[in-house]
């Protein structure tokens, strides 16, 4: 592992969030706080990987995130907007109840972001596979 040196605000300057490819879907797992430089690097890495790989979906696992503030909410919305412009869809998984409550209390909406309770359901959603009722977790609205 490479050594990380402190950047602005004490954040490690060389920390990168891994972007894993699962077929046509990219998987990102967020752990703990996301600093400004790390968030910008993640956005750049995702855009480059989507274009290079032709990925059609991005799953962002936030199960390792204890607290969502307005900064993280904005970053997630920006990632979703960016991936949408690159012809990919974004699904957030692993949202804890406290995180959902905080997002609502802060009045943060995540336009363009779908949610699923787990990665399996998110992959099914993004790849167009039928979602079985035993999987649970997919939130669909019908008119």
The pLDDT assigned to 94 comes to 94
**Strands of the 113-116 sheet, one edge to the other:** 19-22, 25-31, 57-64, 89-93, 113-116
Distance CA 103, CA 71 (A): 11
Q: 0.85 cut: is pTM over it?
A: no
d(CA 58, CA 79): 9
Low-confidence ranges of the chain (pLDDT < 50): 1-12, 131-136, 138-143
The predicted pLDDT at position 14 comes to 56
Q: Which pLDDT value is given to residue 128?
A: 84
Q: How many residues does the chain have?
A: 143
Q: What gap in Å lies between CA 84 and CA 90, rounded to an integer? A: 8
pLDDT at position 130 = 52
Query: Could you give all domains of the chain from N- to C-terminal order, each with its CATH number?
Result: 10-120 (3.30.750.24)
- The pLDDT of residue 142: 34
């Amino acid at each position: 592992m490479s050594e990380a040196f402190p950047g602005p605000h004490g954040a490690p300057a060389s920390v990168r969030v891994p972007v894993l490819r699962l077929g046509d879907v990219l998987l990102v797992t967020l752990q703990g706080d996301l600093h400004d430089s790390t968030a910008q690097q993640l956005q750049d890495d995702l855009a480059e990987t989507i274009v290079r790989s032709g990925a059609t979906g991005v799953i962002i696992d936030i199960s390792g995130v204890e607290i969502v503030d307005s900064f993280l909410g904005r970053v997630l919305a920006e990632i979703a907007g960016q991936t949408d412009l690159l012809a990919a869809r974004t699904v957030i998984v692993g949202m804890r109840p406290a995180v959902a409550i905080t997002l609502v209390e802060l009045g943060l909406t995540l336009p363009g972001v779908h949610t699923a309770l787990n990665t399996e359901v998110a992959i099914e959603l993004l790849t167009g596979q039928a979602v079985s009722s035993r999987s649970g977790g997919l939130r669909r609205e019908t008119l």
